[in-house]
Amino acid sequence: MNVWRRLSGPRRTLALAGAGVLVAGGLVTIPVTAAQAATQCDIAYTTNDWQGGFTANITIKNLGDPVNGWTLGWTFPNSSQRVQQGWSAEFTQSGSQVTARSMSYNGTLATGASTTLGFNGAWSGSNPKPTSFTLNGVVCNGGTGNPTTPPPTTPPPTTPPPTTPPPTTPPPTTPPPTTPPPGTKVDNPYAGVRGYVNPEWKAKADAEPGGSRVSNNPTAVWLDRIAAINGTPNSSSNGAFGVREHLDEALRQGAGYIQFVIYNLPGRDCSALASNGELGPDELPRYKAEYIDPIAAIQSDSKYRNIRIINVIEIDSLPNLVTNTSGQAGGTVMCDTVKANGAYVNGVGYALAKLGAIGNVYNYIDAGHHGWLGWDSNFGPTADILKTAAVASGSTVNNVHGFITNTANYSALTEPYFKVTDNVNGQTVRQSKWVDWNFYVDELSFAQAFRTKLISVGFNSNIGMLIDTSRNGWGGANRPTGPGATTSVDTYVNGGRIDRRAHAGNWCNQAGAGLGERPQANPAPGIDAYVWVKPPGESDGSSSEIPNNEGKGFDRMCDPTYGGNARNGNNPTGALPNAPISGAWFSAQFRELMQNAYPAL
């Protein structure tokens, strides 16, 4: 049934992680008391404290009428408390009074909806929690108990009063690292800190009409060739910044994490053309010495020890060894070669070992997507090959913090209007042409199930999953609002599915796609974050052949006039016209992604 597996996958180019809740400093929940007020809210304020500094995370839950634009206000109890660096809101402070105003992407709060913001701060003496918050000028109660318990007149301090006078020296301009100290891995590197905004991508997004609505989101930096390590100012698909320049800029921004894509294996993307790489299949020594080693040398610089460096390891590589070798539909000689010589397994293992040895580095291996690996014939064998790579070339599973799915792809996060267990007129939806006997119909269910499988084959039980949501929103006028007709399994699935592609095997510059969920931490069980690893607006591949010096070929799956192949059920490609080579800026696509964003901008 599943004659296609790989879906061609050259998704080449390419997360504002919502602040997660840290509980070391305690939790303050402030419910509303004015039952008749149009604006009602519940505030959860948590801190993670260290001597002289803290990270605060605030969750606003709207219990009243819908809000379109919000302003949160509070007063610090201690005059020394200061906001230094904030995220997910615009912070201002005058004396002890603090105001946080909504951003363009999180200002709308429906009744019952929540949003999270946070900041790094400084204090001396003690760091008590604020006792009262206002939302759009309406008090959200000044107590710290539950709604049925009156708050104390004077809330107790969260730390004992100092026995000696507070120091007279001002707080440091850069707060000390959060607990645990640098070099100690945290469970989720996205939680509680602000992500790095690539200024080169931001400048391109800001230049588009309405682009400033999304340009402050964190996106990954793709290291797709050796020259990208030091920067490629004359390249069509990467900017002048190299690894060190990005890390320096992350320090300047006060970012808590930065994301890099490690993407230059020998014989890269063996089943496709648009994202072929510079290294031949036998150049593993060069991959190690000229690519991984220099990246590791920069990332291990003690200057960057306080930044959580997240590496996404080799997109679309290891699953190819399961689905695109001899005996598989669409198997290629290149995939046979890199499987036989161990270039992929040993290259990934070496990258994991070298980068994983750095105390503040977190490695996430690419794990395809549900429309590629959802069948049992692919699901288990891929988990096994991922484990093989994780213990190759001197690595261990401890060098793997987690996995990422849907990288640079378009698979819907969830399908609200049909489930894989549904039946229509006595037929399972798995018999529909779209599902094609797959066991999964969306990325969230696949990522959660695949995590369980990965743990069963020997990965650590605390691994987390990432899902790339940069282009899987599928909003706009064509988004279904309910289930399809029950005439047949095909009308039921096709009428109700969010993913509007002609076939789940279509991967290049898809027409009708939209921005998906904004980057955020801890969005679902087992999921460390929704991320934007693929920067919206960067092409998947050229619509026609374009000569270049980056090793990127022309793949007919990027040609809107191509009628498809066995991998995509001989369906039209659904690709946008006039696209540049992979990684280059594609203005028309970026504008369409904003137009079809879901949640809408």
Q: In angstroms, rounded to a whole number, what is the distance separating the alpha carbons of residues 468 and 14? A: 10
**Measured CA angle at 103 (ends 100, 107), to 5 deg:** 90
Residue 3 CA to chain centroid, in angstroms? 30
User: Could you give the 3-state DSSP secondary structure of residue 60?
Assistant: strand
Q: In angstroms, rounded to a whole number, what is the distance separating the alpha carbons of residues 300 and 307? A: 11
Single out the residue of 369, 382, 512 nearest to residue 442, CA to CA. Answer: 369
Q: Provide the β-strand partners of residue 529.
A: 466, 521
Q: In angstroms, rounded to a whole number, what is the distance separating the alpha carbons of residues 287 and 516? A: 34
* Whether 308 contacts 177, CB under 8 Å: no
Tokens, residue 367: 């794990």
Q: In angstroms, rounded to a whole number, what is the distance separating the alpha carbons of residues 185 and 218? A: 21
Q: In angstroms, rounded to a whole number, what is the distance separating the alpha carbons of residues 450 and 444? A: 10
* Whether 256 contacts 192, CB under 8 Å: yes
Which residues carry out catalysis? 316, 540
E strands, 253-372, where? 257-262, 308-313, 361-366
CA distances to 372, 379, 391, 443, 596 from 384, rounded to whole Å, are 16, 9, 11, 20, 37
| Crossing angle for the helix pair 343-356 and 376-390, to the nearest 10 degrees | 50
Q: In angstroms, rounded to a whole number, what is the distance separating the alpha carbons of residues 442 and 360? A: 32
251 class by beta-carbon count within 10 Å (0-12 exposed, 13-18 middle, 19+ buried) = middle
**Measured CA angle at 333 (ends 330, 338), to 5 deg:** 110
DSSP strand pairing (361-366 vs 402-405): parallel
Tokens, residue 340: 């036989």
Residues in the chain: 601
Residue 386 CA to chain centroid, in angstroms? 20
